[in-house]
Amino acid sequence: MEFLPLFHSLDGRQVLVVGGGDIALRKARLLNEAGACLKVVAPHVHPSLRELIEKSGGRLEERKYTAGDCAGCVLIVAATDIESVNIQVSQEAKMLGLPVNVVDSPALCTVIFPAIIDRSPLIIAVSSGGDAPVLARLVRAKLESWIPAAYGQLAGLAKKFRSQVKRRFDDVQARRVFWEEVFQGEIGEKVLSGQALQAEHLLTKKLEGEVSAVRGEVYLVGAGPGDPDLLTFRALRLMQQADVVLYDRLVAPAILDMCRRDADRIYVGKKRSEHVVPQDQINQLLVDLARQGKRVLRLKGGDPFIFGRGGEEIEELAAQGIAFQVVPGITAASGCAAYAGIPLTHRDYAQSVRFITGHLKDDTCDLPWQDLTALGQTLVFYMGLVGLPIICEQLIRHGRAADTPAALIQQGTTAQQRVFTGTLKTLPQLVALHEVHAPTLIVVGEVVTLREKLAWFEGGQPAFNLDR
């Protein structure tokens, strides 16, 4: 190990930065975040660095570096583009026994600035010892995506209760087990889901020795339109900790594979006119599993609150006193349209957008057609494949021009994506000529014409067009 990782307290202490350009500014920003009082020596100084010096309560000396500038400082940073100056700073800092960092010159350094993941008070640092800083930044990026921002709040909770836990448990091993249970259990999940006050209440009760019954919870999670890269960080975290998963047909297999490997999986269907498990039974199953103390993941394609019956499910959970969380997902309208190169709004074509279900609760297609014919709006029909001819016919009959651009997107955002474009008059004919299967999305409006210029993702499948 070439460098020993240490965390240095700089709060209110003076740090010397030699140099006044962009690189010096970047280092100064980090030092300022750590509470350092900046002393900057440079003939010319970046305007933003001046502001930072003033903010830190430090001082600026607009001149060249001279011997003795290191005096009174606890850390030295050389950030100039003059090698002789950097060498001089390094040598003098080493003679004084002060830690020194010379930017992009590992051989002159006794300390290295790592790539930092800041979840204060939790801080994670990654370093290559100055040999591969780009690689260190890439590793940091991976860690950033894996560690939720709320981990800082979790660390803050531990800080707040640390002395109480130490008084409660004399044994170090007992304290370790206690905190593991806190971080990995219901209390930790409360913090991560933004319920800090409830977490503190539960932790207080736990310290007082009150043992409550094991409580389950339901995670209502939107899986997005199909591309696993569109999952949110919170969705992925809950997917990987759930004990049981209830999923429907619209959840892509690649997304289901990202759930915890040993979780029980229950397929509940959700195909037009073909529900493997009726909705009322799904609602009851969520309640029953949670009452068994299980963490239940209800995984839905798209967003659970947009034609996903998520509202119906959590109504039942709320009525039964079951704890739940809701994690939004990218709905099919925005996801599929974006991957098809069709902006849903555009100042020149559409100033509003409407999301419409292609079939109603009674499996009819009886919609307020007159309201859907206004110009300047984009219409997006979910679950409209079977009703496509009726949708186009009724829009034309109620006043929408027959040559209004329209598109049908099949399995949008996935490698199987196919896009059919035409008009209200021609689209049903075009779709009928090809074997098309759900899930599909229908987009109606002038914005469809932009696809010719903006299409960027075809998913390896051909596009189908019928001239207007």
248, 262, 348, 362: which is the annotated catalytic residue?
A: 248
Summary count for the chain: helices (H), strands (E)? 16, 18
The two tokens of residue 418 are 């196919």
- 232 among annotated binding-site residues: no
Residue 404 C-alpha from the chain's centroid: 36
State the Cα angle at 103 between 98 and 109, rounded to 5°. Answer: 35
Round to whole Å and give the CA distance between 328 and 305: 8
Distance in angstroms (rounded) separating the CA atoms of residues 305 and 307? 6
Amino acid at 138: L
Do strands 377-382 and 14-18 pair parallel, antiparallel, or not at all (unpaired)?
unpaired
And the tokens for 339? 């991957």
Return the number of other C-beta atoms located less than 10 Å from residue 425's C-beta.
17
- 403 in active site: no
302 is in an annotated binding site: yes
Q: Would the annotation count 22 as a binding residue?
A: yes
Do the Cβ atoms of 270 and 313 come closer than 8 Å? no
8-state DSSP, 434: S
How far apart are alpha carbons 327 and 303 in whole angstroms? 8
Rounded CA separation 434/222 (Å): 30
225 marked among binding-site residues: yes
* Neighbouring residues of 408: CB distance < 8 A, sequence distance ≥ 6: 385, 388, 419, 420, 427, 431, 436, 440, 441, 442, 443
Name every residue whose Cβ is closer than 8 Å to that of residue 278 and which is 6 or more positions away in sequence: none
CA distances from 283 to 36, 242, 300, 310, 457 (A): 55, 17, 14, 10, 37
Q: Known binder of ligand: residue 44?
A: yes
Residue 43 known to bind ligand: yes
- The candidate with the shortest Cα–Cα distance to 258, out of 141, 336, 146, is 146
27, 190, 206, 270: the active-site residue: 270
Q: Any binding-site annotation on 23?
A: yes
What are the structure tokens assigned to 234, written together? 């919170």
Q: Are 40 and 24 in contact (CB under 8 A)?
A: yes
**Does the annotation count 270 as an active-site position?**
yes
Amino acid of residue 101: N
**Ligand-binding site membership of 306 (annotated):** yes
Determine if residue 264 is labeled as part of a ligand binding site: no
Nearest Cα to Cα of residue 141 among 123, 113, 115: 115
Peptide bond into 428 cis (omega under 30): no
What CA–CA distance (Å, rounded) separates 13 from 58?
Answer: 10
The residues assigned a catalytic role are 248, 270
* Residue list, annotated binding site: 22-23, 43-44, 225, 301-303, 306, 331-332, 383, 412
* Residue list, annotated binding site for NAD(+): 22-23, 43-44
* Residue list, annotated binding site for S-adenosyl-L-methionine: 225, 301-303, 306, 331-332, 383, 412
